[in-house]
Homo-oligomer: A and B are copies of this chain.
Amino acid sequence: MMICNYTAEDYIQKLVEFHGNFAPGLLIGGFMVEIATQNMKQYEIYDAICESPACLPDAIQMLTPCTVGNGWLKIVDTGRFAIALYDKKTGKGVRVSLDASRLEPYPEIKKWFLRLIRKQEQDKDALIAQILHAGKDIYAVKDVIISENYRGKHIPSSIAFCSICGEAYPEIDGKVCLACQGMKIYE
């Protein structure tokens, strides 16, 4: 069972390096990206949407050309454990999600996914074994069209200087920068 041209072992090593520690969601994410890219073979390039900020963005960033910083990966937090890859022009693509209804044969995955046990109580080895054993069987795959609002990059704005903080910001954001409009990041 390969994950985007990596063996499971190599992918696990790669994910620990990038993500800082082993995360079941990232191994599952590897399978989700593998399934999605297999379904997008007719497209030379594609963009990605990730419906969860947890784990899944790292699987996409490790295994596809899409990263947060290059704008090809957008995180749209619906709280659902799903990703979509799509053609930027037409919005046509594929959505892959972890399907809870298919988890009965895999109790460790079910307990992890539905948060039925605490992290400290997880049997990590059994969980990994079940994810690998399940292979592609626990995912729902659906053709989708991404709504226009969620496609592509935002239009670059000209740059202005904020009259409050003095820093450069996109003029399109308003008379002062968004931070000075009320995002109190710093005390």
Contacts and interface: CB of A to CB of B under 8 A. Distances in A.
Interface residues on A, range: 35 or more
Contacts of A149: 184
B57 A159 contact: no
A53 B74 CA distance: 10
Contact of A186 (B23, B147, B168): B147
B183 A78 contact: yes
Most buried by B among A70, A98, A100, A146: A70
Contacts of A183: 76, 78
Nearest to A187: B145
Among A26, A69, A149, A184, the one with the most B-chain Cβ atoms within 10 Å of its Cβ is A69
A71 B97 contact: no
A67 B20 CA distance: 9
15 contacts: A19-B69, A20-B72, A21-B70, A51-B185, A57-B67, A61-B68, A79-B179, A80-B168, A98-B168, A100-B168, A114-B159, A144-B187, A145-B187, A146-B187, A147-B184
Given A55-B69, A78-B179, A114-B159, 15 more contacts: A18-B61, A19-B70, A20-B70, A21-B70, A57-B68, A58-B69, A78-B178, A80-B162, A80-B168, A80-B177, A100-B168, A113-B159, A114-B168, A145-B187, A147-B185
